Amino acid sequence: MFTIIVKENTLEMASAAFEVLKEVLDKKPDAVLGLATGSSPIGLYKKMIEDHKLTGRSYKDVVTFNLDEYVHLDRNHSQSYYTFMKEHLFDFIDIDLKNVHIPNGNADDFDAEVMRYEEELSKFHVDVQVMGIGSNGHIGFNEPGTPFTATTHIEALKESTRNDNARFFASIDDVPTHAVTMGIASIMKAKKIILLASTSYKAKAIAAMIHGPVTEKCPASVLQNHPDVVVIVDKAAASLLADEGH
Ligand code: GLP
């Protein structure tokens, strides 16, 4: 079930997302958070840091699982998702890095790594999963065509995804071709999901997720089968929705 919140700008989106997250953290200081990278969650992470500084809210008992990581990027590479999480959140809150889980993009044995990550994840129950959406409807790095039954696995990135993410690399050739990602089945186990999207570039994907058929062609459409998804969008991203943005 979707709860759709349409906001004026990314600042208001971040505040709305933080309100949802705060409700979970207030009740459960040792919550299990599913986290994501990309530009969409950055405002929310800023809010978390601000609140941590202002109220002293502690993250020392919080456990986190990130959705994905690029394959063959060292975790200290400037564009690894490990570096992203350190630079946008972990370095500014009192999280215990022992409780942080991000797939190892530089594993020697990727079969073992995907099994290890899924096994670790299965020991917990994610209370709230934060995520963005790809312009082609991907969630995590589950590209169109990924079976809904998939657990953590290696995904070959679509050219459109590599193009979307090329802005963070010196050239398209530097964008990794593969990623380790939590699967759709793994993501669907989260008790609650917060999905953030802004700009008209995401409007088609948001409309397909909410109004389109539930199909592996649009991975995010699987969320129609989830009991609690809070979709927080700006007007541009909401512009193709039936009741919003007009
Ligand atoms: C990447 C990430 C996704 C993210 C998407 C959208 O592909 N793997 O998890 O949702 O980008 O990114 P942005 O929020 O920057 O638009």
Which CATH number do you get for residue 194? 3.40.50.1360
The answer, yes or no, to whether any atom of ligand 1 lies below 6 A from the CB of 134, is yes
Instruction: Spell out, as residue ranges, where the chain has pLDDT lower than 70.
Output: 244-246
Ligand 1 center–CA 159 separation, angstroms: 14
> Can you tell me which atom of ligand 1 is nearest the CA of 41?
14
163 C-beta closer than 6 A to ligand 1: no
Residue 50 lies in a domain: yes
Give which of 227, 228, 146 is closest to 183, Cα–Cα: 146
Instruction: Quote the pLDDT of residue 243.
Output: 74
Q: Which amino acid is at 74?
A: D
pTM: 0.96
**Ligand 1 atom closest to residue 201's alpha carbon, by position in its atom list:** 16
Mutate which of 138, 180, 187 for ligand 1 pocket (most atoms within 8 A of beta carbon): 138
Considering the domain boundaries, does residue 58 fall inside one?
A: yes
Whether the CB of 132 sits within 6 Å of ligand 1: yes
Does ligand 1 come within 6 angstroms of the Cβ of 198?
no
How is residue 182 written in tokens? 């939590």
> Are residues 181 and 102 in contact, defined by beta-carbon separation less than 8 angstroms?
no
Instruction: List the domain range (segments joined by +) for residue 119.
Output: 2-234
Domain presence at residue 122:
yes
| Token pair in block for residue 197 | 């999207």
Residue-level pLDDT at 244: 53
Q: Which of 10, 73, 129, 141 to mutate to test the pocket of ligand 1 (most atoms within 8 A of CB)?
A: 141
DSSP H helical segments within the chain, as ranges?
10-27, 42-55, 81-88, 110-122, 159-165, 184-188, 203-211
Backbone φ and ψ for 91, nearest 5 degrees, come out as -70, -10
- What's the pLDDT tens digit per position in 68-83? 999 999 999 999 999 9
Atom of ligand 1 nearest to the CA of 161: 7
- Does residue 243 lie in a domain region? no
DSSP-derived 3-state class of residue 28: coil
- Angle, CA 156 vertex, CA 174 and CA 102 arms, to 5°: 80
d(CA 215, CA 209): 9
Residue at token pair 């998702």:
81
Active site residues: 68, 136, 138, 143
Q: Is 82 part of any domain?
A: yes
Question: Cβ–Cβ contacts within 10 Å for residue 23, how many?
Answer: 12
Cα 144 from chain centroid? 16
Total domains present in the chain: 1
**197 C-alpha to center of ligand 1: Å?**
9
CB 180 within 8 A of CB 154: yes
Q: In what order do the strands lie in the sheet with 68-70?
A: 68-70, 178-181, 153-156
Asked if the structure places residue 242 within a domain, the reply is no
Report the half-sphere exposure of 50 (CA within 13 A, side-chain side).
11
Question: What is the Cα–Cα distance from 36 to 41, expressed in whole angstroms?
Answer: 7
Q: Could you tell me if the CB of 67 is within 6 A of ligand 1? A: yes
